[in-house]
């Protein structure tokens, strides 16, 4: 899940927001303003309900961010780099650049998120009780109580032993510890995730068809997301098994065609680079230093009348936002960071110089080759 825009950095981690957050934000604010708050405390000015709902939604997403930041901080303390945190439709996700090195580290990283949500829930519940004793306005007490309940619910739901929830990570840590096999542990956790997802889908459909509960549709949507995410995680684990021991250099495209940062966009679209029909080009200075990645789709967005004036460095993805690897890095460890799309190519850099470029298609080609040759050769050498 890629962020639509970036909010900034917290604790050294880039914080991004996907456009789908707008939808859930609006649903929370609307549900509180037009439902819970207006029903519990009728007669207040309409603006009061909406302001309270808006504030509750903001604080709720702040709670989600705290949950994901806890994962990120613990990951870094256990030697795992964090790519970013993205808030989206169904919550948030801290994207780690590699996996935990042992079951104990996995346990710590996964377990801290629900603990933070549970602690926040306790703080909000205590705050609601104290505000009630202090005779604070009822709407304020109701909002704080709702925040307490939703954080406790978030902690409980995330603790369900089913991938990709935090509880699924805890289950994987336990299975990993018992079996000593991370791949088998992941398979068990993802299987549990698919079962739990189908149960939610079934329950949601029953609630909607027989009880007329529109909340059932939301429950089914969450279940469907869990099924898709667990299936994707399982496939990625299988890929990691196939690619175990394979370095990035075995899959990358070496010596890719590059463009200069000072080159006009018009020259890129009409000049020699465009003839190669690649969808993305590394951007490299004259001294050989890579500075970014140019996706042709971004170049084509420049208006034709300005294409002679706009240069590559104005439309490229700057290097800090590009996934970078070294040629000797394990290819399997790079999989969690890779996504489809020209903007998501991986630049392979050795000693400050560009060595190659890597796309998901390169990984697929490598997997196909390994799968086809393994039975004949008896395995990789």
CATH no. for residue 299?
3.10.580.10
Strands 13-17 and 82-88: what pairing?
Answer: parallel
Same domain? 154 vs 9: yes
Average pLDDT for 172-196: 93
The token pair at 155 is 């902690």
Q: How far is CA 49 from the centre of its chain?
A: 32
Residue ranges of alpha helices (H) inside the chain are 21-31, 37-40, 46-77, 103-133, 138-158, 166-179, 182-211, 215-242, 265-270, 272-275, 296-300, 312-315, 331-334, 360-377
Count of CB atoms within 10 A of residue 187's CB?
19
Task: List, by residue number, the catalytic residues.
Answer: 68
Average pLDDT for 306-319: 93
Same domain? 155 vs 12: yes
The token pair at 355 is 């060595």
**Last-in-domain residue among 117, 144, 159:** 159
Same domain? 144 vs 31: yes
pTM over 0.85: no
Q: Is residue 72 part of a domain?
A: yes
**Last-in-domain residue among 118, 136, 159:** 159
Instruction: Domain count for the chain, please give it.
Output: 2
Same domain? 277 vs 145: no
User: Is pLDDT above 80 for 367?
Assistant: yes
**Last-in-domain residue among 159, 183, 208:** 159
Question: pLDDT tens across 132-153, in order?
Answer: 999 999 999 999 999 999 999 9
- Give the DSSP H/E element, type plus range, for residue 350: strand 346-350
Domain of residue 341: give its range.
248-377
Q: Is residue 101 part of a domain?
A: yes
Q: Is residue 186 part of a domain?
A: no
Q: Tell me the C-alpha to C-alpha distance, in Å, between residue 136 and each of 61, 139, 141, 192, 304.
A: 24, 8, 7, 45, 60
Question: pLDDT tens across 339-350, in order?
Answer: 778 888 999 999
Going 344 to 345 to 348 to 354, the CA torsion angle's sign is: negative
Same domain? 13 vs 147: yes
Question: pLDDT tens across 203-262, in order?
Answer: 999 988 887 777 788 889 889 988 988 898 888 888 888 888 899 999 999 989 999 999
Q: Tell me the C-alpha to C-alpha distance, in Å, between residue 101 and each of 85, 151, 182, 188, 240.
A: 21, 30, 10, 18, 14
pLDDT of residue 209: 87
Same domain? 128 vs 266: no
Same domain? 26 vs 140: yes
Q: Is residue 283 part of a domain?
A: yes
Q: Which residue has the tokens 């309900």?
A: 49
Place 2 in a pLDDT band, splitting at 50, 70 and 90. low
pLDDT of residue 374: 59
Q: Which of 205, 243, 250 is nearest to 332 (CA)?
A: 243
Q: Are 50 and 119 in contact (CB under 8 A)?
A: no
Q: Is residue 224 part of a domain?
A: no
Q: Is residue 324 part of a domain?
A: yes
Same domain? 146 vs 24: yes
Same domain? 154 vs 296: no
Q: Is residue 136 part of a domain?
A: yes
Q: Is residue 173 part of a domain?
A: no
Q: What is the DSSP letter of 259?
A: B
Going 201 to 204 to 209 to 214, the CA torsion angle's sign is: negative
Same domain? 23 vs 150: yes
Taking the C-alpha atoms of residue 8 and residue 21, their distance in angstroms, rounded to an integer, is 16
3-state secondary structure (DSSP) of residue 323: coil
Taking the C-alpha atoms of residue 225 and residue 222, their distance in angstroms, rounded to an integer, is 5
């Amino acid at each position: 899940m890629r962020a639509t825009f970036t909010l900034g950095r917290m604790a050294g981690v880039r914080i991004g927001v996907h456009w789908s957050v707008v939808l859930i934000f609006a649903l929370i604010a609307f549900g509180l303003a037009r439902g819970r708050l207006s029903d519990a405390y009728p007669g207040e000015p309409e603006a009061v309900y909406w302001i309270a709902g808006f504030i509750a939604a903001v604080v709720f997403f702040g709670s989600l961010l705290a949950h994901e930041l806890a994962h990120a901080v613990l990951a870094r303390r256990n030697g795992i780099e964090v790519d970013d945190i993205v808030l989206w439709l169904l919550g948030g996700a801290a994207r780690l650049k590699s996996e935990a090195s042992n079951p104990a580290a996995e346990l710590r990283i996964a377990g801290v998120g629900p603990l933070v949500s549970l602690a926040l829930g306790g703080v909000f519940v205590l705050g609601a009780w104290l505000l009630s004793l202090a005779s604070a306005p009822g709407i304020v007490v109701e909002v704080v109580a709702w925040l307490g309940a939703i954080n406790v619910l978030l902690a409980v739901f995330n603790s369900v032993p089913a991938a990709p929830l935090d509880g699924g990570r805890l289950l994987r840590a336990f299975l990993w510890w018992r079996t000593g096999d991370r791949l088998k542990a992941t398979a068990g956790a993802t299987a549990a995730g698919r079962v739990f997802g189908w149960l939610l889908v079934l329950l949601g459909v029953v609630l909607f068809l027989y009880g007329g509960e529109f909340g059932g549709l939301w429950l089914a949507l969450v279940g469907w997301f869990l099924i898709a995410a667990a299936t994707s995680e399982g496939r990625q684990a299988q890929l990691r098994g196939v690619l175990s021991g394979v370095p990035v250099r075995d899959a990358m495209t070496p010596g890719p065609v590059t463009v200069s940062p000072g080159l006009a966009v018009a020259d890129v679209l009409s000049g020699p680079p465009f003839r190669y029909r690649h969808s993305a080009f590394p951007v490299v200075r004259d001294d050989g230093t890579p500075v970014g990645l140019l996706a042709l789709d971004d170049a084509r967005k420049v208006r034709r009348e300005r294409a002679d004036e706009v240069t590559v460095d104005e439309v490229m993805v700057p290097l800090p936002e590009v996934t970078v690897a070294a040629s000797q890095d394990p290819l399997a460890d790079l999989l969690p960071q890779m996504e489809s799309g020209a903007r998501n190519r991986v630049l392979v850099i050795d000693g400050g110089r560009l060595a190659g470029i890597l796309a998901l298609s390169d990984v697929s080609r490598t997997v196909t080759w390994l799968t086809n040759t393994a039975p004949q050769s008896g395995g990789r050498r």
